[in-house]
Amino acid sequence: MSATGQRLANFKMSTDLFIGANASLNMEPVLRKVFSDDKQVMVVMDQGISKTAIASSICDTLTAAQLSFAVFDKISSNPTDQSVVHAFEFLKKEKCFALIAVGGGSSIDTAKAVGLLATNGGDLRDYYGNDKVKIPPLPLVAIPTTAGTGSEVSPTSMITDTSRKKIKFGIRSELNCPRAAILDPTLLRFLPSHIAAVCGMDALSHAIESFVSLWSNPFTEPLSLQAISLIGRNLKSFVEDPNNFQFASAVMYGSTMAGIAFSFARLGNVHCMVRPLEEKYPLSHGLACAALLPHVIRFNFSACPEKFRQIAQGMGLDVQGMNDDEAGKRLVERVQELNEDIGIPMLLKGIQARSEDVREMAKVCAETPYNQWNPRYTEEEDFRQIFEMALQV
C-alpha cells in the first residue's frame, strides 16, 4: 500500500514472445539468444506430444541448430511434487543446464519447477506461495501446444502436493516466467476438440476475470478485452476445426494475452471455486471453469455493469439499449450458448455433486484471499449458491 492507501499497481513483460505460423520451425535465433552457450538442454513433454510430428519437427529444429538435448517425456497431467522430483533427477543425470517445455500447462509448470530446484536447491515445498524463489531458475523456452493456461507467460507453477491430500499449490515468482515463448498456432492442429474446448474456456475465464478484477489496471485491461474478443468470437470455430490457422491464432494469442493480464490483475471467483471443485470431483481445470463461468458472471454483474457491458460487446453482442439486467442476462446466455456449442454439457455429464461437498467447498472458498480481486464481495453462502447453480445440486 502507498501512503494514500492505494495499492501500487505494476506491469512488466518478463517473457520474450515470438509469434507466427511455423515459428517453432524458425526458432533457432531465439534458442541461440536464450541458450547462449553450448550446454545440454532438457526438452520436457508428455507422451501425447512425444509421439506426434510436433515432437519430431522440434527435435529436428534443435538438431539443425546444433543444440545438444535430452528428451524427458514422462509428464502426466497435473504435475505433482513427486513427478517434478522425477523430472529433476533426469535433468541432473543428463547434466542439462537449460529447459524447453513443449506442451500444455503441465509440461510448462513442470519445467518451471525443475528449473528453480536446479538453481535454488532444497525441497519444492520451500517455494510454495509468493516470491520465495531467490535465484533465477534455469533458462526456459516454452512452446505451448494448447491454448488455455497462459503458463508460457505467467509467473506461476501449479503443483499437486501428494503429502497434503493432493491439494494444488502455486509457486509464484516473477523469476519463474519463461525467458521466451514460441507462439506457433500450427502446433494446435492436432488438438482433440474436447481439449480445445475446455482449454479455451479456461482462457476465456482468465480474460474475463482479469478484466473485472479489482487489481486490473490500464495496462492489463486492453489485453484482457482483446483476449475476450479473440477467444469469445473464435472458440466455437476453433473447436470445430483446430487446423484452421485463423481460428487457432485467435485463440492462441488471446490465451497468451489473458495470461499476461491475469499475471498482474489476478483472477476471481471462478478460479477460487475451481480449486476445491477439482480436488473433489474428476473434472479438468478448464471444464470446471466452463461450468462455473456463467454463474460467476451472473453473481458479479452488479459490481461493475459497465465492464460487463464491454465484455458483452467484446464477445460480439449488441447490448446498446438494454438495461443492466437485460445486458447481464444476455451475456450469461451467450456464455452458456458457447458452452453448449463446444460440447461442455456433454463433458459434465456424470458429475453428480453432493450437497455436503458443496457446503464444504463453499467454506474452503470463503477462507481464500480471492475477495481482494473478485469485483463483488462473496460470502460463504454466496459460494454455496453459485456451486449449486453450476452443478445443479
Residues engaged in binding Fe ion (CB under 5 A):
202
**Which CB, 46 or 209, lies closer to Fe ion?**
209
Smallest distance from Fe ion to CB 96, Å: 29
* 205 Cβ neighbours under 8 A, 6+ residues apart: 267, 270, 271, 289, 290, 292, 293
Minimum CB separation of residue 139 from Fe ion in Å reads: 25
Burial of 73 from C-beta contacts in 10 A (0-12 / 13-18 / 19+)? middle
Nearer CB in complex with Fe ion: 173/210: 210
Bridge partners of 99, per DSSP, are 42, 140
Taking the complex as a whole, how short is the minimal distance between the CB of residue 106 and Fe ion, in angstroms?
13
Pairwise CA distance, residues 263 & 267, whole Å: 9
Q: What minimum distance in Å lies between the beta carbon of 66 and Fe ion?
A: 37
Distance CA 187, CA 53 (A): 10
Nearest distance in Å: CB 113, Fe ion: 17
How is residue 71 written as a grid cell? 528428451
The DSSP secondary-structure symbol of 158 reads E
| C-alpha 291 chain-centroid distance | 16
Residues 6+ apart with CB under 8 A from 292: 205, 269, 270, 273, 274, 277, 386, 390
Q: Return the C-alpha cell found at 317.
A: 453482442
Phi/psi region, residue 166 (left: phi>0; alpha: psi -120 to 50; beta: rest), is left
Q: How far is the CB of 158 from Fe ion (least distance, A)?
A: 9
Residue pair 327/312 in contact by the 8 Å Cβ criterion: yes
Residue type, 131: D
Query: What's the min distance (Å) between Cβ of 271 and Fe ion?
Result: 6
CA distance 164 to 141: 31
Task: Give min distance, CB of 283 to Fe ion, in A.
Answer: 13
DSSP-derived letter for residue 80 is B
| Nearest position to Fe ion, beta carbon | 202
Residue with smaller CB distance to Fe ion, 81 or 202: 202
Distance of CA 352 to the CA centre of its chain: 26
Phi, psi of 183 (to 5 degrees): -100, 95
